[in-house]
Amino acid sequence: MSKLVEHRALWSGLASQADNAEIGVLGVPFDNAVSWRGGTRHAPQRIRSITPHLGLTTEEGVLLKIRVKDYGDVETDLNWERFFETTEASAAEIIQGRHRLAFFLGGDHSVGIPLFKAFAKSFTGPVGYIQFDSHPDLADNFEGHPWSHANTARRNLDQPNLSPAHLAFVGLRSFLTEELDYYAAHPEIGWHTARSVYGRGIEAVARDVIRQIQGVEAVYMSLDIDGIDPSCTPGTGTPEHGGPTTRECLEFLRLIFANLPIRAMDIVEVSPPLDLSDVTSLAALKVMYEVFGFMQEKATQ
Ligand SMILES: [Mn+2]
- Among 73-82, 124-133, 188-197, where is mean pLDDT lowest? 73-82
What is the per-residue pLDDT for 36? 77
pLDDT digits (tens, 9 = 90+) for 63-79: 999 999 999 999 999 89
**Cα torsion 103, 23, 258, 255: sign:** negative
* Confidence category of residue 5, pLDDT binned at 50, 70, 90: low
HEC secondary structure over 263-280: EEEEEECCCHHHCCCCHH
pLDDT-above-90 percentage for the chain: 89
Look at residue 267 and tell me whether its pLDDT is greater than 50.
yes
Q: What is the pTM of this model?
A: 0.96
What is the per-residue pLDDT for 1? 46
Between 216 and 78, residue with greater pLDDT: 216
Q: Which of 193, 187, 176 is nearest to 243 (CA)?
A: 193
Look at residue 15 and tell me whether its pLDDT is greater than 80.
yes
Please check whether residue 290 is in contact with residue 66, taking contact to mean a CB–CB distance below 8 angstroms: no
Look at residue 115 and tell me whether its pLDDT is greater than 50.
yes
Ligand 1 midpoint to CA 44 (Å): 18
- Sorted by sequence, the CB contacts under 8 Å of residue 41 that are 6+ apart come out as 29, 30, 31, 76, 107
Look at residue 34 and tell me whether its pLDDT is greater than 90.
no
**Residues 118-130 as b or e (16 or more Cβ within 10 Å = b):** bbbbbbeebbbbb
Ligand 1 midpoint to CA 246 (Å): 15
Ligand 1 midpoint to CA 238 (Å): 7
Ligand 1 midpoint to CA 50 (Å): 24
Given the candidates 2.50.20.10, 3.30.499.10, 3.40.50.300, 3.40.800.10, the CATH classification of the domain at 3-299 is: 3.40.800.10
Ligand 1 midpoint to CA 223 (Å): 9
How many Cα atoms are found within 13 Å in the side-chain-facing hemisphere of 272? 16
DSSP 8-state class, residue 182:
H
Ligand 1 midpoint to CA 172 (Å): 9
Look at residue 84 and tell me whether its pLDDT is greater than 60.
yes
Instruction: Please state, in angstroms and rounded to a whole number, the distance separating the CA atoms of residues 83 and 114.
Output: 9
Average pLDDT over residues 102-110: 97
Please check whether residue 253 is in contact with residue 210, taking contact to mean a CB–CB distance below 8 angstroms: no
* Confidence category of residue 33, pLDDT binned at 50, 70, 90: confident
Ligand 1 midpoint to CA 26 (Å): 20
Q: Mean pLDDT in the chain?
A: 95
pLDDT digits (tens, 9 = 90+) for 232-253: 999 999 999 999 999 999 999 9
pLDDT-above-70 percentage for the chain: 97
Sheet holding 23-28, edge to edge: 68-73, 23-28, 101-106, 262-268, 218-224, 127-132, 167-172, 190-193
